[in-house]
Amino acid sequence: MPRSALILAVLLLAAAGAAGLWFLSVRRADPQYWPRKPLQNVPTAHAVRPADWAELTLAGGPGGNDWVLLPDQPQQPPFRSSVQASQRGFLAPQDCVECHAEYCETFQHTSHARTSMLPSTDSILGSLQPGHNVLTTARTELQFRMQQQDNAIVQQVILQHPETRTVFTGSFPMDLVFGSGNHGQSYLWWNADRLYQAHVSYLSESDAWVNSPGPYFDGTADFARPVPVRCMECHVTWIAADPKEMNRFDRSTLIPGVTCVRCHGPAHEHVAYHRQHPDETQGRRIVNPAALTIQRQNEICAQCHSAGEDHASLFGYRPGEPLEQWLQLDLSASAESNADPHAANQLARLMQSRCFQQTSGFACTLCHDPHQNQADTLTITAQQCRQCHQQDPCPEVQSEKTGSLARQRCVACHMPARRDAQVAMQTRQGNIEALLRDHQIGIWPETTAIERIRLEATLKQTLQSVEGATP
């Protein structure tokens, strides 16, 4: 699937600038997470140096010898939060199922529900089968093997001296799976109470293990890249984070997946009320986004689907409140800068459409149903376009030849999917560029030219198969 490249280099911009500068201080400066804040408490890491396995003479590589990076062992006792998720009303879907069984059933198949998962042979999409579980690298002496080991599924680093055959191995558990696999998956591991990204990711497009996107250069092994709370705010429902540290969490508080309460707000009072009033048919003490203004509805999605500077942890945001107190939205994204390093800015682009501006606006949910895995967004969307554009003012739709096809494919021309060179992912097979759907509904002549050729080809094929069927 071509969209795979969206497991975008979270650090891509930093990486591009800092390529070759293999210094932690530079690399750790995740600019989009702390745009204007000074960096504090960046956890320390150490390179495994030649001295660590004396005979190895390691030449070259980005940054000379420091091409195996491991985090230092934290010195403090483990972080324990005094706040539990349930006290804040962050309940898991299991807490809704007794009364909303249908929603819970369809919801578990969505990419939101599956965007972070505990590890298992089901949730980890890359193969653990011998013969398919090894990632070789540009250095013959370095490879990774993904396998079950004791009670964990691990990424094992295997370093072998080309002459002496001395072997260094180290195993890092895949403790948390990030990504539904639409595009790919990355894996996080716990070093005591610190969360780090593992070196190897999985790319759906090629069904293969790859070096993680971003500054994970081929021929290096990096298990020391801290995972900041901002990653968690977009990919998990809740986790207690130590506000003073960059990647320190209370692991026992994790609720994986982006689930109900991230869009409906704290639900403990709702649940308590309805348990006490089983005959009540009106939902109480819970946010129904449909009852909010369009702006407030879309801000729920913008927590994670926009670009901007965050002022405060989004785990504190409540649907229905003005998002700007948490996140300063950047609504100026252009077609070129749409793909802010990791996720696209759908809200900004949508709001720049005349469809949006010349009406009272509409919600993301016009085209996206958050409660089910929509296989066919394109067709659904075409129907939504027709709600406002019944008259067929579009010359392509009126075309006698291809009009009937064009009628189902409004978005192919009016919301172009583009490969974005800014957000390329490096693999050994070459760069894979992200394919993003521009949410500015507009007139795009170049896209139309390509789509027209495609429509004509489809038409020809259909005619040929009809002729073939009735000789």
The nearer residue to ligand HEC, 52 or 98, going by C-beta atoms, is 98
CB within 8 A of 403, min separation 6: which ones?
A: 396, 397
The nearer residue to ligand HEC, 161 or 368, going by C-beta atoms, is 368
Instruction: Indicate the Cα dihedral angle 9, 10, 11, 13, nearest 10°.
Output: 70
Binding piece for ligand HEC, criterion CB under 6 A, among 21-29, 148-156, 248-256, 368-376? 368-376
b/e for 23-61, b at 16 or more Cβ within 10 A?
ebeebbbbebbbeeeeeeebbebebbeeeebeebebeeb
Cβ(86)–Cβ(268) under 8 Å?
Answer: yes
Tell me how crowded residue 418 is: count the other CB atoms within 10 A of its CB: 18
The nearer residue to ligand HEC, 181 or 320, going by C-beta atoms, is 181
CB of 328 to ligand HEC, least distance (A): 13
The nearer residue to ligand HEC, 56 or 258, going by C-beta atoms, is 258
The nearer residue to ligand HEC, 154 or 301, going by C-beta atoms, is 301
Q: What angle do CA 233, 234, 236 make, to 5 degrees?
A: 70
CB of 187 to ligand HEC, least distance (A): 9
Q: Is 88 in the site for ligand HEC (CB under 6 A)?
A: no
Q: Is 251 in the site for ligand HEC (CB under 6 A)?
A: no
In the region spanning residues 29 to 48, those forming contacts with ligand HEC, defined by CB under 6 A, are none
DSSP 8-state code for residue 4: G
Q: Is 384 in the site for ligand HEC (CB under 6 A)?
A: yes
The nearer residue to ligand HEC, 58 or 411, going by C-beta atoms, is 411
The nearer residue to ligand HEC, 134 or 459, going by C-beta atoms, is 459
- Give the separation between CA 260 and CA 113, rounded to whole angstroms: 9
Q: Is 389 in the site for ligand HEC (CB under 6 A)?
A: yes
Q: Is 14 in the site for ligand HEC (CB under 6 A)?
A: no
Q: Is 96 in the site for ligand HEC (CB under 6 A)?
A: yes
Four-residue CA torsion sign, 295, 301, 307, 312: positive
- Give the separation between CA 243 and CA 263, rounded to whole angstroms: 23
DSSP 8-state code for residue 256: E
Task: Give the pair of three-digit tokens for residue 323.
Answer: 């998002």
The nearer residue to ligand HEC, 421 or 443, going by C-beta atoms, is 443
Cβ(350)–Cβ(441) under 8 Å?
Answer: yes
Chain position carrying tokens 């609504």: 331
CB of 107 to ligand HEC, least distance (A): 4
Task: Give the pair of three-digit tokens for residue 292.
Answer: 């909010």
The number of angstroms, rounded, from the C-alpha of 95 to the middle of its chain's C-alpha atoms is 25
Binding piece for ligand HEC, criterion CB under 6 A, among 18-26, 166-174, 243-251, 258-266? 258-266
Q: Is 234 in the site for ligand HEC (CB under 6 A)?
A: yes
In the region spanning residues 284 to 313, those forming contacts with ligand HEC, defined by CB under 6 A, are 286, 288-290, 298, 300-301, 303-305
The nearer residue to ligand HEC, 164 or 461, going by C-beta atoms, is 461
Q: Is 259 in the site for ligand HEC (CB under 6 A)?
A: yes
Cβ(12)–Cβ(214) under 8 Å?
Answer: yes
Contact with ligand HEC (CB under 6 A): which of 123, 137, 155, 186? 186
CB of 49 to ligand HEC, least distance (A): 26
In the region spanning residues 325 to 344, those forming contacts with ligand HEC, defined by CB under 6 A, are 342-344
3-state secondary structure of 233: helix
CB of 106 to ligand HEC, least distance (A): 8
DSSP per-residue string spanning 284-353: -SS--GGGS-HHHHHHHHHTTSS-EEE-S-GGG--TTS-GGGTEEE-----TTT-B-SSSB-HHHHHHTS
CB of 137 to ligand HEC, least distance (A): 20
The nearer residue to ligand HEC, 5 or 159, going by C-beta atoms, is 5
Q: Is 98 in the site for ligand HEC (CB under 6 A)?
A: yes
Contact with ligand HEC (CB under 6 A): which of 67, 79, 178, 249? 178
Q: Is 227 in the site for ligand HEC (CB under 6 A)?
A: yes
Contact with ligand HEC (CB under 6 A): which of 27, 28, 145, 183? 183
- Give the separation between CA 458 and CA 362, rounded to whole angstroms: 32
- Helix runs in 241-293, H state only: 261-264, 268-276
The nearer residue to ligand HEC, 70 or 301, going by C-beta atoms, is 301
The nearer residue to ligand HEC, 221 or 363, going by C-beta atoms, is 363
Count of residues engaged in binding ligand HEC, rule: CB under 6 A: 110
b/e for 431-470, b at 16 or more Cβ within 10 A?
ebbbbbbbbbbbebeebbeebbeebeeeeeeeeeeeeeee
In the region spanning residues 390 to 449, those forming contacts with ligand HEC, defined by CB under 6 A, are 393-397, 406-407, 409-415, 436-437, 439, 441-443, 448
Among 440, 237, 456, 432, which Cα is nearest to 351's?
A: 440
